Amino acid sequence: MVGQLLASEGFATVAEIAFVDTDELASIEGFDEETATELQTRAREYLAKREAEQDEERKALGVEDALKEVPGITTAMLVVLGKAAIKTLEDFAGSVPDELVGWVERKDGEATRHPGALDGFDLSRADAEAMIMAARVKAGWITAEDLNPPEEPEAAAPAPAA
């Protein structure tokens, strides 16, 4: 019943409940400050437990710790990547966005969607590319400066002929 009430108030995930301002929860009809605090405590405990379980699964799959340091990669993603045999920083750095977010192949007027390893994580192609490039920097394949080369000064316009 509480879950239905929270959903009707627009809460779609446990994380939203865990990190919303307590006053917002307390303002729901039938809730008070104590109820809101208890809901948030339980939501945060659930998320921490789930994170720990996923981290154990990541370790069991052999996904290295260094991959956790790539900005944008979550523990849930690490589990999925491990199942897709992407277990090291180098494995991830050698990926291409299509491998992560999927692609569409058109043949004879028909489109076939090929899923990526991280389908279901609401990851854009640009996000995937940024994560891969960050992994390449961490792996030492490129430098951060390679990603942001200095702008070349604009050439001066030739002087008009006299």
Range of the domain at 139: 62-146
114-127 pLDDT tens trace = 999 999 998 999 99
- Residue 134: inside a domain: yes
Share of the chain above pLDDT 70, in %: 92
Share of the chain above pLDDT 90, in %: 69
pLDDT at 162: 59
- Residue 71: inside a domain: yes
Q: How far apart are CA 21 and CA 70, in angstroms?
A: 29
* Total count of domains within the chain: 2
Per-residue H/E/C for 30-87: CCCHHHHHHHHHHHHHHHHHHHHHHHHHHHHHCCCHHHHHCCCCCHHHHHHHHHCCCC
> Could you tell me if 67 and 53 lie in one domain?
no
Is pLDDT larger for residue 9 or for residue 135? 135
46-67 pLDDT tens trace = 999 999 999 999 999 999 999 9
> Could you tell me if 11 and 77 lie in one domain?
no
Residue 127 is encoded by which pair of tokens?
A: 């996000």
pLDDT at 4: 84
Q: How far apart are CA 56 and CA 65, in angstroms?
A: 12
67-94 pLDDT tens trace = 999 999 999 999 999 999 999 999 999 9
